[in-house]
Amino acid sequence: MPRAMPTGKGKKGTINRLIKMVCKQHPLGVFTVLFFVVVMAFSTFGAPIFVGLVTECIEQGIQGLITEAEFWARMTEYLIIMGVVYGLGVIGAVIANIAMSVVTQDFLAEIRMAMFEHMETLPIRYFDTHKRGDIMSIYTNDIDTLRQIVRESLPGVFQTGVIVSALFIIMLCLSIYLTLVVLAAAVAILIAAKRIGRRSSKYFRKQQEKLGVVEGHIEEAINGLKVIKVFSHEEKSEYDFSILNDALSEDGIKANTAGNMLTPVIINIGNILYVILAITGALFVVFKVPNISILPGYKVGVPMIVTFLMMARMFSNNVNNLSQQLSMIFLGSAGASRAFDLLDEKSETDDGYVTLVNIKYKRDGSFVETVEETGFFAWKHPHKDGSLTYTELEGDILLSHVDFAYNPGHRILHDVTIFARPGEKIAFVGATGAGKTTITNLINRFYDIEDGKIRYDGININKIKKSSLRRSLSVVLQDTNLFTGTVMDNIRYGKLTASDEEVIKAAKIANAYDFIMRLPDGFNTMLSGDGANLSQGQRQLINIARAAVANVPVMILDEATSSIDTRTELLVQKGMDQIMMNRTTFVIAHRLSTVQNSNAIVVLDHGKIIERGTHNELIEKKGVYYQLYTGAFELE
Amino acid sequence: MFKNFKLILHSLREHKVYAILTPVLMILESACECALPIIMARFISLIQDYQQTETIDFVQFSIQAGIFISVAIVSLIAGFLGSKTSAKASVGLAQNLRLDVFKKIESFSFANIDRFSTSSLVTRLTTDVTNTFMTFNIGIRVVVKAPLMLVFSTVLSFVMGGRMAWIFIAVIPLVCLAFFLMIKYATRIFNRVFKRYDKLNESIQENVAAIRVVKNFVRENYEVKKMARATDDVRDDFKKAEIIVSFASPMMSLSINLVNILVCGIGAWIAYESGGVEINVPQLSSLLTYGVQILMALLMVTIILGMLSMSLESMRRICEVLREESTIKNPKNPVMQLKNGAVQFNRVTFKYSEKAKRNALDEINLDIKSGQYIGIIGSTGSGKTSLINLISRLYDISTGELIVGGHSVDRYDLRTLRDNVAVVLQKNVLFSGTIAENLRWGDLNATDDELLAAAKIAQADEFIQQFPEKYNTYIEQGGTNVSGGQRQRLCIARALLKKPKILILDDSTSAVDTKTDALIRKALKTQLPETTKIVIAQRTSSICDADQIIVMDNGHIDQIGTHEELLKTNKIYQEVYHTQNKASQQEGGGI
């Protein structure tokens, strides 16, 4: 069953924008395509004209109206011209096709890169509000649609347009009556095609929907097959399936009948046209109806009928093609407009001007900026009066009276004030949705606060360039996203310039070294498909090593240990403990055991801080933390 | 290959009529289509004669015109009906095939499922069936039509054109060869390119998924550079492949043109020399039509061959499933009743497949009395799950003896056995449907009160009552709209509704907090005293009050004893206990 066509209409002007874009980026290519398409088009209807001339010549020859020499001279002339016209047509087609391929592929690469490049600049909000599958579908389905439009439909419309109008004029030149017959048949074909097409697309859409349901059921049943077996639920499941399956087939028959019908009906109406044309022609001849044509001097006879028969085929085929290509463009404009929507998304803005620079310490304890990688950093702060100040990077974070809402009106955080002095460990505890992760999203400015202030080493983070701010923080997320590549590459992601030794050292700190060495190729083991060949715990260890190699003073750990077996959990825990040493750390904890030694534990509930203190203080207080600790509450 | 065809066509069943009718209609359609040019030639000669003689036999004229138009109409009707029958045949085939494969898969044992993997089974039942359907739908028409058109057109060309038809015979093989080579070459390149293209999209997907990592490490530019390289590679590959394909349609027209020029040239010569006797103008024009028809038919043949070769692999994969026999079957004269919940393992060994080098379980001796509460602990891969899977005969033991409720496990009717041995699997799933529907999997006829009772034991009632729709709350596919802990509790309740004699929980409370975990255990103990309860756990706290605790290690039983005994004597148990209680004192805190 054909892939689902993108549904819905595109925005107005999408196709115009697409055409403008292609023309602007590839003027030469587009010109080449257009030029040779015209050449190609003209050669295609060269054929019937010459066949007509040849047959006329033969007839005259047979009837003795022309001499043998004349006959052969004309014959050779026709055949040579025919050869040349055909040759030009073939060459034109090859060049046009190649040019189309080149333009299309260049354009697709450009737009794909433009989309990707632009996507990388988009704020996290975009990714939080769009489904991953939807974003991916722009890169796969919608790009395919663009290919279809640029490579096939647009040139197709142009080519068939040229052919149809030229044929029309030629036919009018020969005989207006016969042209009318052809025109009537072409209209009939168009109407039939349209009706069948509408019916088929209606049922194909239905079929596609039902297929989706059936496939969903299949997926669910097979993924849950072991449960089905355990519950001896096979018969029920088969019964449910057969009902859906039967419903699918009902629409399937309708859709495919219509789909199958299109070609035979068009061809056969073409055949009928062929017959009617021949009969009409014959009647004209027999009843000696005077011919009316734009060019005078043509009379309806056998040669003209032969020519017309060939042209009629061509005309009806092209009219049909034209209508199909136009509807492809119409359908495809939805896909194209989604691609443009991505390009039109607003990029993340950055007004920051304070940057992070490497510094070198002198003997007296003062420091200077340097381009070397020293492992020491300072904030470079230009002021309005043109002066520059430097502040050492220490990792002092202060959130004061922060309010935040993902969507205006739905406040997620209320008046949150938290401070972390350099080297301190601050833990966030609370139920899902309490706002723990949200706070970390604010510190690295994935989202901007509504009210209040966040200061980093005393500097308002709005003044810090986002790239500098993020480089100064290391984050270990709950989702262990790894990239296709070696283990070494994945850890080095934290610091691209890290040497192999640094990577290995980081792996050791993160407690990942031992298991990596047991992998088939050690650090050179290829990870694929999001590190699927590793266990959840092992992926988390690589994640931690990646953060460790970055070696920055502030860490955010969104810990994920719930699905890890006990032994690996211990390793992960140790790894985390090691990289937290001497760093300012924000920990989001699911298991309270991991946060007991924090300098402060912040208990959040519905975006408000409800308790704060050290472990012992909070236990003594016998509040929410105490209840969580004793297991009276569930942390879900 | 033909065996596969046969097996797949077996699923046609009641739609066989359409599958036979379609080719018949296609024969009719192609015969008509091929007859048209020859009739046309005769018709035009009539006019030609008229032009020369100025007399016409109107009866003859009308008859010819009548034949002419009726052939075209018959062709239209045949084509129209053929579309219908082929759609019915192919959709019917797909429908039956899907059901057959689905039924077959449902009959699979765990070992069969493992052998295929679930994702591969899904592909076979979706993509592969769809591919087969599409090939059949087009194939059933074209397979007959294209060769027939080829033969008819060639024969008629000889009838009409005489020796001129040799032009076609000379050109056809050349075109065939060229197309064959081109398709072969292009498919090879395209296969390679599409793999790269998939990789490119995978890496975009990876990037979208990991966007937080990218942004956190400020690696946007790095990713863009990486992507630019990959995009350029794909672009260049696609260009190469498409440039080759660019020659395809011009080549097609080149050969048509060549045929046209040859037919015109040679035809003109023959016609002139013979004074229009051997061949005349109308015949010449029909010959041109046959030339196009022959080449089109050839093109169709090549296309269908290409499609067929692509779907052959799909058919093979479907047949693989259809031929697979379930490794576990109901015994003859099965035992239809399970007396009690006692389980006895006598020197049981087990391996997942005969080829496996290592036994998954070795020398297992166990004696579980009806109503006992058993805990199993051990690291990942130690054989805990393998052990409990044998009890409800999800897998067959390799050697030894396994007695459940007084009979060897393979003598029971499978349904009886599995209704009495309820397993809450580690990788458990809920199905789309309401909570009540999901719970009733355990017992289709359970009353609302029974649902409530089971949910209460599993500590699920409390949160279910908090949902606005309570027991009618709709669970999304994969159970994504309830939390992990809630899902686990629903799964336990579902198993409880079976009122089993043996209840097995395979790490089924890992996402449940310790307090609730303790409440579930307590409820199981007090409310199901008769039921044998076997609990696999990661945490010692979950099983410390069991009657017996089995410590598994590396496929064998390391030791069996109570919590106190093991704490004194078993090294593995001690290690697990101490790490958990040092790192997470609070987790024992609730008990």
- Give ipTM to 2 decimals: 0.79
Quick check: is A216 in a domain? no
Question: How large is the average pLDDT for residues A80-98?
Answer: 89
Q: According to the model, what pLDDT value does residue A2 have?
A: 36
Quick check: is B308 in a domain? yes
A328 contacts chain B (CB < 8 A): no
Same domain, B46 and B149: yes
Contact B125 A275 (CB under 8 A): no
More confident residue, B116 or A586: A586
What residues of chain A, 263 to 282, have a C-beta less than 8 Å from chain B? Answer: 264-265, 267-269, 271-272, 274-276, 278-279, 281-282
pLDDT at B180 over 80: no
Domain range for B434 is 343-584
The CATH number for A50's domain is: 1.20.1560.10
Contact A631 B589 (CB under 8 A): yes
Quick check: is A327 in a domain? no
Nearest-Cα distance to chain B for A414, in Å, is: 24
Q: According to the model, what pLDDT value does residue A530 have?
A: 56
Q: Which residue has the tokens 């200077």?
A: A368
Report residue A31's pLDDT band, with 50, 70 and 90 as the boundaries. Answer: very high
Residue of B nearest to A226 (CA): B110
State how many domains chain A has.
3
Same domain, B523 and B465: yes
pLDDT at A408 over 60: yes
Quick check: is B334 in a domain? no
- Residue A55 with chain B: CB contacts under 8 Å: 281, 284-285
- Residue A301 with chain B: CB contacts under 8 Å: 51
User: What pairing do the DSSP bridges indicate for beta strands B373-377 and B532-536?
Assistant: parallel
Q: According to the model, what pLDDT value does residue B498 have?
A: 83
Cβ atoms of residues B99 and A241 within 8 Å = yes
Report residue B580's pLDDT band, with 50, 70 and 90 as the boundaries. Answer: low
In this complex, which of B231, B249, B429 lies closest to A223 when CB atoms are compared? Answer: B429
What residues of chain A, 436 to 455, have a C-beta less than 8 Å from chain B? Answer: 444, 446
Same domain, A578 and A595: yes
State how many domains chain B has.
2
What the block records as the tokens of B198 is: 């998939």
In this complex, which of A89, A90, A550 lies closest to B217 when CB atoms are compared? Answer: A550
Residue of B nearest to A87 (CA): B254
Q: According to the model, what pLDDT value does residue A590 have?
A: 66
pLDDT at A568 over 70: no
pLDDT digits (tens, 9 = 90+) for B228-275: 888 888 888 888 888 887 887 788 778 888 888 888 888 888 887 877
pLDDT digits (tens, 9 = 90+) for B53-102: 777 777 888 888 888 888 888 988 998 899 899 999 999 999 999 888 88
Q: According to the model, what pLDDT value does residue B316 have?
A: 87
Give the side-chain half-sphere CA count within 13 A for B147: 7
Same domain, A363 and A450: no
Q: According to the model, what pLDDT value does residue A36 have?
A: 92
A193 Ramachandran zone, left/alpha/beta (phi>0; psi -120 to 50) = alpha
pLDDT digits (tens, 9 = 90+) for A505-546: 888 888 888 888 887 788 888 886 555 567 777 788 888 888
Cβ atoms of residues A49 and A89 within 8 Å = no
Q: According to the model, what pLDDT value does residue A289 have?
A: 75
Compute and round to an integer the Cα radius of gyration of chain A.
37
Same domain, A489 and A589: yes
The CATH number for B258's domain is: 1.20.1560.10
Alpha-carbon distance B430 to A26, whole Å?
54
Domain range for A485 is 397-629
Q: Which residue has the tokens 């026709």?
A: A78
Q: Write the CB contacts of B378 (distance below 8 Å, at least 6 apart in sequence).
A: B384, B551, B552, B553, B558, B572
The secondary structure element, H or E, covering residue B395 is none
pLDDT digits (tens, 9 = 90+) for B298-314: 777 777 777 777 778 88
Same domain, A368 and A440: no
DSSP letter (8 states) at residue A6: P
Contact B125 A218 (CB under 8 A): yes
pLDDT digits (tens, 9 = 90+) for A165-207: 888 888 888 888 888 888 888 888 888 888 888 888 888 888 8
Q: According to the model, what pLDDT value does residue B551 have?
A: 85
In 3-state terms, chain B is what percent helix, strand and coil (to 5)?
70, 10, 20
pLDDT digits (tens, 9 = 90+) for B449-479: 888 888 888 888 888 888 888 888 888 776 6
Instruction: Please provide the DSSP assignment of B160-187 as one string.
Output: HHGGGGHHHHHHHHHHHHHHHHHHHHHH
Q: According to the model, what pLDDT value does residue B522 have?
A: 83
- Residue B282 with chain A: CB contacts under 8 Å: 302, 306
Quick check: is A527 in a domain? yes
pLDDT at B197 over 50: yes
Contact B216 A108 (CB under 8 A): no
Same domain, A33 and A71: yes
pLDDT at B584 over 50: no
Cβ atoms of residues A393 and A553 within 8 Å = yes
Residue of A nearest to B54 (CA): A286
Maximum distance among all Cα pairs of chain A, rounded to whole angstroms: 123
Same domain, A379 and A407: no
Alpha-carbon distance B148 to B145, whole Å?
5
pLDDT at B587 over 70: no
Nearest-Cα distance to chain A for B359, in Å, is: 22
B350: which strand partners?
A: B361
pLDDT digits (tens, 9 = 90+) for B489-543: 888 888 888 888 888 888 887 777 777 778 888 888 888 888 888 888 877 777 8
Alpha-carbon distance A125 to A148, whole Å?
31
What the block records as the tokens of A275 is: 């017959």
pLDDT at B123 over 90: no
Question: How large is the average pLDDT for residues A355-363?
Answer: 87
- Residue A632 with chain B: CB contacts under 8 Å: 515, 590
DSSP letter (8 states) at residue A12: T
Q: Which residue has the tokens 């949150």?
A: A416
Pick from B288, B323, B358: which residue ends a domain? B323
DSSP-based three-state secondary structure for B431: coil
pLDDT digits (tens, 9 = 90+) for A421-466: 888 888 888 776 678 888 888 888 888 888 899 999 889 988 999 8
Burial B438-469 (b: 16+ CB within 10 A, else e): bbbbbbeebeeebbbbbbbbbbbbebbeeeee
Alpha-carbon distance B251 to B264, whole Å?
20
Cβ atoms of residues A543 and A480 within 8 Å = yes
Query: How far from chain centre, in Å, is Cα A429?
Result: 37
Same domain, B137 and B223: yes
Nearest-Cα distance to chain B for A363, in Å, is: 32
Alpha-carbon distance B343 to B397, whole Å?
14
Q: Write the CB contacts of A469 (distance below 8 Å, at least 6 apart in sequence).
A: A352, A356, A444, A445, A456, A461
Same domain, A56 and A108: yes
A to B CB pairs, distance under 8 Å: 426
What residues of chain A, 471 to 530, have a C-beta less than 8 Å from chain B? Answer: 471, 473-475, 477, 479, 481-484, 493-494, 496, 529-530
Q: According to the model, what pLDDT value does residue B209 have?
A: 79
More confident residue, A479 or A622: A622
Report residue A33's pLDDT band, with 50, 70 and 90 as the boundaries. Answer: very high
Flag whether the pTM goes above 0.90: no
Contact A229 B110 (CB under 8 A): yes
Nearest-Cα distance to chain B for A143, in Å, is: 11
B553: which strand partners?
A: B556
If one counts every other C-beta atom within 10 angstroms of the C-beta of residue B372, the result is: 17
Question: How large is the average pLDDT for residues B206-232?
Answer: 84
Contact B485 A636 (CB under 8 A): yes
Alpha-carbon distance A197 to A266, whole Å?
11
Quick check: is B140 in a domain? yes
Cβ atoms of residues A557 and A576 within 8 Å = yes
Cβ atoms of residues A10 and A336 within 8 Å = yes
Q: According to the model, what pLDDT value does residue B517 have?
A: 79
A120 contacts chain B (CB < 8 A): yes
Q: According to the model, what pLDDT value does residue B585 have?
A: 43
Instruction: Please provide the DSSP assignment of B542-566 as one string.
Output: GTTT-SEEEEEETTEEEEEE-HHHH
Nearest-Cα distance to chain A for B574, in Å, is: 13
A632 contacts chain B (CB < 8 A): yes
Phi, psi of A481 (to 5 degrees): -85, 115
Quick check: is B497 in a domain? yes
pLDDT at B544 over 90: no
- Residue B95 with chain A: CB contacts under 8 Å: 245-246, 248-249, 252
Residue of B nearest to A571 (CA): B579
More confident residue, A257 or B37: A257
Quick check: is A54 in a domain? yes
Q: According to the model, what pLDDT value does residue A533 have?
A: 64
**% pLDDT > 90, chain B:** 3
Alpha-carbon distance A586 to A466, whole Å?
19
pLDDT at B562 over 90: no
Residue of A nearest to B212 (CA): A124
pLDDT at A388 over 50: yes
Average pLDDT over chain B, rounded to an integer:
82
User: What pairing do the DSSP bridges indicate for beta strands A554-558 and A584-588?
Assistant: parallel
Quick check: is B438 in a domain? yes
Q: Write the CB contacts of A333 (distance below 8 Å, at least 6 apart in sequence).
A: A9, A10, A11, A14, A15, A149
Alpha-carbon distance A469 to B45, whole Å?
89
Contact A226 B217 (CB under 8 A): no
Phi, psi of A231 (to 5 degrees): -95, 10
Question: How large is the average pLDDT for residues B151-180?
Answer: 80
Same domain, A137 and A15: yes
Instruction: Give A512: exposed, middle or buried? Use CB within 10 Å, 0-12, 13-18, 19+.
Output: buried
Q: According to the 3-state scheme, what is the secondary structure of A415-434?
A: EEEEEECCCCEEEEEECCCC
Q: According to the model, what pLDDT value does residue A565 have?
A: 60
Instruction: Please provide the DSSP assignment of A588-618 as one string.
Output: E-SSGGGGTT-SEEEEEETTEEEEEE-HHHH
Q: According to the model, what pLDDT value does residue B89 have?
A: 92
A431 contacts chain B (CB < 8 A): no
Alpha-carbon distance A88 to A36, whole Å?
9
pLDDT at A562 over 60: no
Report residue A591's pLDDT band, with 50, 70 and 90 as the boundaries. Answer: low
